[in-house]
Amino acid sequence: MANQERNTEATDDAIMSSSSDYNLYLPMDIIFDILNRLPVKSLLRFRCVCKTFRQLISNPTFISSHLLHHRTPITTATIFTFTHRTTTSLSLLQSPSSSQNPINLVHPFSNHTRNLHLIGSINGLLCLCLCLSNHPLHCHRRSLLLLWNPATKLFKSLPSPTIQIPSGFFHLSYGFGFQFHSSTSSSDYKVIRIVSFNLQTRVEVYSGISDCWREIQVMDLRFYSHKLSCEVIVNGAPYWLLPNPSNHCICFTWFDVQNEAFVMLPGLDFSRLYIGTSVHWKLMDWKDNAAVVVCCPGNPFFDVWMIEDHCGGESNWCKKFVIGPVFGVERFCVLQCTKNGEIIVADAWERIFLYNPRNGETKDIPIHGVQFEAFHYVESLVSIEGFRQQELNNQH
């Protein structure tokens, strides 16, 4: 039966190629509109319907229009990274509010699971960092960076970075950024690599268009992140935490992808605000704004701080919302705010829950592991020059 189906398709192909000017039954803009509404999985299959479909589905205008149509609060999914025993896994939760179970994602180098880090997720592209050496001390000296689209199963290994890590003590951090050139209506994806050693910080940027690393000059940036990845990516710009040993103030910087420069944010001083309590805070993407979410153990409410611009051109942090009470989750901390306004929280035993602030309900998310992180993800057809197909023999 399957053979027969294949045979008819083969005949169709012959007819397609012999008569290139067949008529589509519907006008082209309607076909565009209909295909625009389809999920990536269907579009990948429909590429072999005919030449017109194939051209349309790989057209950059169609790809960005498709992304725009699907980047809605309801269709934005969440990717979790977590560690179970020594294995780091990626899990995709299509829609947190539905009762669907998370899907395990098989990345292109799935035999390297020990030291896998998800640097960021932008427009359906994931930036992964894999450590090739099993020795913990040499872990970050030999690592592989990947850009990967899990929906189209295409990926690319980035060329080796140029800044060598010296022997001795060092800090290393990566960021992932996106930039849209409105003049040429083209987009570029960039990976930022920050190496700090001997009170010196060097930064290099990989650009998807030029396909190479280039060192940029940074003035006076004291940087020693304890995390391999940036804290959060908001509107395509990665954010990092900056050390400030003098007081209890926390400082942030974000990378302006277009101008390739770091921009400082005002410091947020916790010591005066939360006197006598230990606080757990996290920088996150709160509906396309950078926000600091502060939880205090034992307090069922949490605070959301955002940068507010004042009329004098000055900007400062201010407490925007107090959300809660979150009941039934002991000593919780907030992991992420989903695009449709639900909150992903983890309790003291690293169990994951979904809290809906509209009705106060909490729901268990069935993923088990430790060291959870949550990223926004939207399925897309976005690709980068040099992408190649991922081998799928590891998938069940």
Partner 1 sequence: MSSSLEKNMLILRSSDGEEFIVPEVVAVMSKAIKNMVEDECASNTIPVPNVDANILAMVIEFCKKHDESEAEAASDLKTFDSEFVNRGQEALYDLITAANFRDVKELLDALCQNVAEMIKGKSVHHIRIQFLGYQLFEILTSNFIWNIWCDRDFD
State the residues that interact with partner 1 by CB under 8 A.
Answer: 5, 8-9, 11-12, 15, 22-27, 29-31, 33-35, 37-39, 42, 45-46, 48-50, 53
| Choice between 11 and 164, CB closer to partner 1 | 11
Instruction: Return the residue matching tokens 């990845």.
Output: 229
Q: Minimum distance between the CB of residue 13 and partner 1, rounded to whole angstroms?
A: 10
Q: What is the DSSP letter of 284?
A: E
Instruction: Please choose, from the candidates 104, 157, 97, 170, the residue with its C-alpha nearest in 3D space to the C-alpha of residue 128.
Output: 157
| Choice between 66 and 202, CB closer to partner 1 | 66
| Choice between 29 and 309, CB closer to partner 1 | 29
| Choice between 38 and 279, CB closer to partner 1 | 38
Q: Minimum distance between the CB of residue 306 and partner 1, rounded to whole angstroms?
A: 30
Give the Cα separation of 167 and 222 in Å (integer): 19
- Which amino acid belongs to residue 236? G
Q: Minimum distance between the CB of residue 38 and partner 1, rounded to whole angstroms?
A: 5
Give the Cα separation of 334 and 342 in Å (integer): 11
| Choice between 19 and 86, CB closer to partner 1 | 19
Give the Cα separation of 105 and 92 in Å (integer): 7
| Choice between 44 and 261, CB closer to partner 1 | 44
Q: Minimum distance between the CB of residue 66 and partner 1, rounded to whole angstroms?
A: 12
Q: Minimum distance between the CB of residue 356 and partner 1, rounded to whole angstroms?
A: 19
Q: Minimum distance between the CB of residue 390 and partner 1, rounded to whole angstroms?
A: 22
Whether 237 and 222 have beta carbons less than 8 Å apart is answered as no
Q: What is the largest distance, in Å, between two alpha-carbon atoms of the chain?
A: 79
Give the Cα separation of 203 and 147 in Å (integer): 19
